[in-house]
Structure 1
Amino acid sequence: MAAEDAGQLSVLAELLFPCAGAEAEEAARRLIRHFGSLRTIWSASSEALDHALAEIGHDRAAIRAAIVAARHLAEAAAREALVGEAIDTRAAEFRHYLVRRLGLRREECVMVLFFTGEGLFIAEDFYCGGQRGEAVIPLRRTVRRAFDLDARRLVLAHNHPSGTALPSNADIAATAKLRNVTEALEIGLDDHCIVAGNAIASMRTMGLV
């Protein structure tokens, strides 16, 4: 095994040790073989982890819970670092955040990020579980949440598991619908970013927002 692969194995085995014990290294090895990389394991849905762990035969509930809990902790820490900060959606740091959250997801997910009128980050909502190839923007929930948070600006982001970071006609239509509703309520839609792997397309840059 290459040195880099050995490092990946060691990190994942360390995470799994409290729930898998002496079998942690074998469980980690098989997960890496199944998914191909730590990034893919990290972004895998609970269903995908269940499928892989069923083949492995270890205590899949405990192993899946450990991976999901570690992911949630890292995501919460990343969000915490954004709270109260002025966010430029064109900045490299913000785009790296979107890639970490969405880039390798195998199902389409939608993020709604809420900002003050001055552009300070307030909160984020994350929705997953739509049909493959379909990202549904939760319009009513987004408007209600914006009022609850007193948010004045929004940024949308969703991923394309197909690997193409270009908005579809459905993406464009859904974005226009949301923008019409939110702007009538004096809530600006700053951008809608499409994430595919490490690539990001900004609909604002493309003149579509």
Structure 2
Amino acid sequence: MKKNNSKFIVFIFLLLGVFSLAQEKKQFLSIQNVLQKMNPNGKIDSWFLIYNTYGKDNVLVSSGKKDYTPQFSGFDVVPDEDSFYYIAYSQNGKLNYITELQELKNFIGKIDNVEEAAIIAMSEGYFIDEEFKDVAGNYYEDTSNYYLDLGKLTSKECPYQKKHYTLTISKTTGIINYTKDNGTYIELYNKKCTNNPRLLKIEKKEEPKDEPKKSTKSTKRR
């Protein structure tokens, strides 16, 4: 009986070890690496992922014969960045372009990996913050879901604000089933912000009190 109990205890510890390993978070290498892990849906003759910065095209994925026309606009996966991505692909002899994030959903189709899950989240306004991967650029997974910690720009006004969220994305459907708000991790005020806490503190300081007026005595003439 004791022998069976000891085997059961060892088995429990093994299960806990496997579970803890499964929960270990990993960081995304980079946004470009995530986009390069896309697997196009359906039969694609050729496709190219292009990153345009300072007006210059850099081909990140080259699959097939290069026969596309450079584009002057595309999708931005990082807020306020002066660059963009676009995809050129040929399907059934027809050349197509993807310049909007939302169009990536149909291009990807069924989710094949965690990178594609992150792209689905990007199309919903989330992003990988490469400067703060600990809070907004990591993930873990189990047999059913991907769990992604990503950022979201919640205000471009005063103050400029970023929040981080944990998204639960189904491996089967590719749908975001649950979103957990983890709070603000960046909040920046500038001099023009009327709601800047520092300015409000200055305004609340007591103004110097006016000196009491000197009383003037009237003199009677004799």
TM range (shorter): under 0.3
Normalized against structure 2, the TM-score is what?
Answer: 0.23
Greater RCO, 1 or 2 (C-alpha within 8 Å, sep 6+): 1
Query: Radius of gyration: which is bigger?
Result: 2
Which structure shows the bigger proportion of residues in helix conformation?
Answer: 1
Normalized against structure 1, the TM-score is what?
Answer: 0.24
Which structure shows the bigger proportion of residues in strand conformation?
Answer: 2
